[in-house]
Each structure stands twice: as structure tokens, then as C-alpha cells.
Chains A and B, each alone.
Chain A
Amino acid sequence: MSTTAASPTLDVSGTRPIPFWRLVRVELRKSYDTRAGFWLLFTIGLLVALVEIALLLAVLIQEEPVAVSDFSIVAAFITSILLPVLGILLVTQEWSQRTGMVTFAIEPRRIRVVLSKLVVGILLTLLTTVFVFVLGVVLTLVCEVVQPDLTSWDYDWRFVVAFTIGQSLTMVVGFALAALLLNTPGAIVLFFVYWWGLSLILAAVAGIFPQFIDVIPWINFQVALGPLYEWELDRAEELAQILTSGTLWIGIPLGFGLWRILTAELK
């Protein structure tokens, strides 16, 4: 058998590589063209609307003071749970539904597919954030009409930025864990254990060894994010804490996850 026989070459001079934006378009479409994807996005929207409206009713009935940012704060709780799930599904569906065989045959440079998914995750997070704030403004307007004296429009745009960054980072943690496990239920469970459990363990450790307290913000991403949410991130130390703990919490799983996706066998 001869493998050295002159074989014709493929003329690829006229073919351009798939542009990145097109991969993003495909991945975006894949995020909502299935029932699971569609209902997840729908549920995020619905729950955000429900909690914000619940807050509105509570405020109006009890005639309490309310600020426009209050609405985003209650919604943040919902989105910080569901956006990571969104990030997880973007990755794990390729494995649970075995579509990865087709996806990575169409674009064999896997890192581009993964990055396009990450972009889609961030786009959808931004979309959710816009929804949260627009709805918040609309509902504050209602309060303004009903109880003008109790309604405050105190608004700090920096809060919007902090909120967006915080939500995106949470989504990325889900994404990273999904890349690591390549399995939907596993990644969701791991996310909650990781996100809340690890935080609790670190707090418990600090309770037992008080000298540990100063170290916590450096390794607990949740704690380090605190100043970001309150937009008191004015010290270099706090920024450094976000960076170090972020590397631990996001960098490590994302690094291993990417390595796993790039080398995994698809079948």
C-alpha cells in the first residue's frame, strides 16, 4: 500500500474561515431554539418580573419608601441563580445531546466555539441586566405616581456597572464549572456547592481560626465581590482581592475546563 502516491490537494484558497461573529450568531440561535433554552430564558424574564412586581406591591401596600435601585437588588438574587444555569447549559448541551460532534466538525478550532459561547453567555447576561433595570425604572415610575414623597430616584450609574460585572462573573463561574464537568446536573449541583458551600466553609474556618479572617477576602470571591456591588471599590487592595480570588474561583476551573474541552474526544 502506498501512502506516498501523489494525491490531489484541496484548493482552499477561495474559502475564508468562519468569521467569529457568525459563530456567535449560531451559538446565540442555539441558546433559544430548543424548548430547554427557550424556557430558561423565559423563566429568567418571568421570575425577574414577578419579584420586581412583588416588591412594588409590598411597597405600595405598606406605604414604604423605595428607591429605584431596590428593584434591581431583589432581581439580582434570581438572576445570580439562573444566569449560571444558562452558562452551564450553553456548554453541557453539546455533550448531553451529542451535538458537539457536529459543532466541532464544522469548526474544528474548538477554542473559537467555546469563546463564541462565552460571548453569547455575556450577551444574554447583558440583555437580562437591561431588562432588570428597565423594568425597575418602569415600576419606580408607578411608585412615583402613587407615592411621590416616598419614592427616590437616587441612582448611581456605577451600581449598574457593578451589577453587570457581578452578574457576568457569576455566569462565567457556571460556564467554567460546566466546561470542567461537561454534564448538566453535575455542573448545576457543583455550582451551588461551590458558590455557596465553599463560601460557608471559608467563613466557618475563619470562625475557628480568627487569624484567618484577614485572608478571607483574598480567597473568597464572594466576599471580595462585596465592595464591587456596593461600589466602594476604591482601594487598590480590594481590586487585588477580586483579582486573586477571581483567579482561584474562575481562572482555575475555567483553565482546566478549557483544557478538557480542547482535548476531549467527541462521540
Chain B
Amino acid sequence: MITVDHLTKAYGSFRAVDDVSFVCHRGRVTGFLGPNGAGKTTTMRVMVGLTPPTSGRVTIGGLDYAAIPNPGRHVGVLLDASAQHGGRTGREILTLGALAMGLPSARVDEMLALVGLTDNEAKRRLRNYSLGMKQRLGIAHALLGDPEVLILDEPANGLDPAGIRWMRGLLKSYADRGGTVLLSSHLLNEVELIADEMILIGHGRIVAQGDKKSLLAGAQGAATSLAMSLDNTALATELARRGHLVDPVGEGLRVNAATEVVGRAALDAGVVLTDLRSGGVGLEDLFLELTSATARDGAGAVPPPPPPPSHGVHVPPTPNMPPVDSPVTPPGGHR
């Protein structure tokens, strides 16, 4: 339904989006994942004609966005929930949208009810909205015209856990009814649960795409082990020296390498292992590995900051070891 074809957007010599191609299918939720500055929002802005592409093309159902008559009736867009006039009330913002799209005003009440904004809240001005309320209003605005396609940039941003669960259900049933959903996020676990397909982007380039199963199948290099030893620090240092990702978890270490590799490292370091298990491959690891790979390749990638010491384990930073201090901090992330 959405076809992105060799899309490139360059700002001067910097390529924010670099030869990106993918397809979003009808009846499926497609997750668009990548660390900060990867080019997700830029790609989405090009999709709806807000940013002119440098080269390449995006079509929605075979049409350029600008060629869709009354596009709000076909494509629901949420790019930035705070990009609204702070002095307008929530209801007024939806009313303007409904007016432009030629919808009855009853639709405004329906949408307010759907996203759980009370009458009282709808009368407040947007500048007095909380982050989550703005987000709900933005979702309501995207759904206003009952579109077949939804393009949502970080829709879960600012939603409380109940809100996130509600949105998950909403998008899932929307896709089940034949809708096409593209949503971006930098939180993998947020997308993992609803996305049928995932597009992973790092530094403007697609690093992987497919459904969850095929992504994991293709991630042979991303095996993880959980290890505990009498000297975690020494083991971690040795593993890091060999270029493996080491993440202190609880009393032990999580290593992005097969158990055999960890065993050998322990042997060489002369450290006694007390526990060594295969941790399986998580999408999280895959995500970090893939995007960190582009961070290393990419020109101007910043050296990773040292991870904060935790549980007394200090892993010294090495040039080829991306930070693994927090699962949501992407390697090479600048923000």
C-alpha cells in the first residue's frame, strides 16, 4: 500500500535518508525502527509531501500523496502531536480538521470519545495539555477521516501504560479490518508486540527488514550468552577486548556471543565460570547490533560513552565496543 522506492533525502552532503526502499502491506502493522536521527521522521515527512525528496519516490496505493483528493479521507497522519496552535482547544483543532475534510461535527465527538478525552479536557487549550493528552488528540486527528492508511510517528510517545495497551489494540484491530499502518519508534519492545513487519533503519539506511521470525533467523551473529563468574570484571574486560558486546545484568554478564566463545574467553583470562547459559537471541540484541554496525561504519560516528558502573562491574570502553548501558540508548546516539 505504501511503497518507498529508492528514497534519498540529502541536507547538503549529509544523507538523512539514503536510498531507502520498503513496502507496507494492507492489513498489516509495519514498525519503523531506528535510533535517534536515523531518518524515520524525515522518511515519513517525504511520504506526505511535507519534505521534497532529493531523489526517489513514495507512493500510497500507487498515488503520489499530492494526487490523492482530500487525502485526510484516505491517509491519517500524525507526525508531531505538538505541531498545533497552542491557543486552540482540542475540540477546535478536530473541528477545523473535520471542516476541511468535509465531515459532520458528530465525528469530532466520536473521535474524542474514542481516544478518551473528556468533554472538559476537549475544552482546554492545547498548550495546557499533557504530553499524553496531546498524543491522544493527535491520534484522534489522524483517525478523523476514517482513512485506509495510517502514518504515525512515535504514536506511543508520552502515553501511559494503559494508553499504550489501548493503542496497540486499536492499531491491531485497525489492521485486521484491512487498514495499513506504519508506525515509527525507537523502542523495540513497544513495536515488537504489534508489528507484523519491521523495518530497521540506522543512519539513513535500512539495515534489516522482515517479520519477527525472519529477522531472528537472519541474525545468526547475534547469539547471546548469560555468564557468571568469580571475577566478572576480568571476564568482561577480556570479552570486550575480543570485540563482544558486554552488558552487566544482575549478578552476571550478558554477552553478544555464543557460549563457547565466552567459555574460551574465561579460559584465557583464567576466570572461573560459575554459570554459563545460552541467552537466546533477542530482537533487542539484533536491533542494537544492526544499528551499532551502521554507527561504526558511518562517518563521524561519535565514540561511545563509557557505560555507568553498575553492580560493581565496570566494563572499560574500547573503541569497537558500543555502549550497552541501557537497552533504549542506541549505540552512537547523540541525544
Is B99 a contact of A102 with CB atoms below 8 Å? no
Is A10's beta carbon under 8 Å from chain B?
yes
Does A33 lie at the interface of the complex (its beta carbon under 8 Å from any beta carbon of B)? yes
Select the stretch in A19-27, A56-64, A217-225, A239-247 that faces chain B: A19-27
In Å, the complex CA distance between A1 and B19 comes to 12
The answer to whether B83 touches A7, judged by C-beta atoms less than 8 angstroms apart, is: no
Neighbouring A residues of B99 by C-beta, 8 Å: 22, 25-26, 29
Contact assessment for B65 and A108 in the assembled complex, using a CB-CB cutoff below 8 Å: yes
Interface residues on A, range: 35 or more
Report the Cα distance A243→B61, complex, angstroms: 47
List residues 38-84 of chain B with CB under 8 A from any CB of chain A.
45, 48-52, 60-63, 65-66, 68-74, 77, 79-80, 82-84
95-112 of chain B: CB within 8 A of chain A: 96-97, 99-102
B270: CB under 8 A from chain A? Answer: no
Interface size class of B (residues with CB under 8 A): 35 or more
- Given known pairs A9-B61, A101-B79, the reply for A15 and B69 (CB within 8 Å) is yes
Least Cβ–Cβ distance between B100 and chain A, in angstroms: 5
Q: Does B249 contact A (CB under 8 A)?
A: no
A33: chain B residues within 8 A (beta carbon): 88, 92, 96
Looking at B1-9, B29-37, B316-324, the stretch in contact with chain A turns out to be B1-9
Of the stretches A47-55, A92-100, A151-159, the one at the interface is A92-100
The smallest beta-carbon distance between B230 and chain A, in angstroms, is 48
Our pick among A9, A16, A106 for the contact of B100 (Cβ within 8 Å) is: A106
Is B61 within 8 A of A99, CB to CB?
no
Inter-subunit contact A18/B87 (CB<8 Å): no
Q: CA A12 – CA B64 in complex, angstroms?
A: 12
Please tell me if B21 contacts chain A, counting CB pairs below 8 Å.
yes
A97 near B84: Cβ-Cβ < 8 Å: yes
Q: Are A265 and B25 in contact (CB under 8 A)?
A: no
Q: A7-B1, A18-B100, A106-B71 are in contact. Are A34 and B85 (CB under 8 A)?
A: yes
Known contacts A9-B62, A105-B48; A2/B23 CB under 8 A: yes
Bound CA–CA A104/B83 (angstroms): 12
Known: A3-B22, A26-B99, A267-B50. 6 other contacts (CB 8 A): A1-B22, A5-B23, A97-B84, A106-B71, A107-B100, A108-B65
Interface residues of B (CB under 8 A from A): 1, 3-6, 21-23, 25-26, 45, 48-52, 60-63, 65-66, 68-74, 77, 79-80, 82-88, 92, 96-97, 99-102, 141, 148-149, 206, 209
Of the A-B pairs whose beta carbons lie under 8 Å apart in the complex, a sample of 8, sorted by A's number, is A12-B68, A26-B100, A97-B84, A101-B83, A104-B49, A106-B71, A267-B45, A267-B50
8 nearest A-B residue pairs (beta carbon): A10-B61, A98-B83, A17-B69, A34-B87, A108-B66, A9-B62, A266-B50, A97-B85
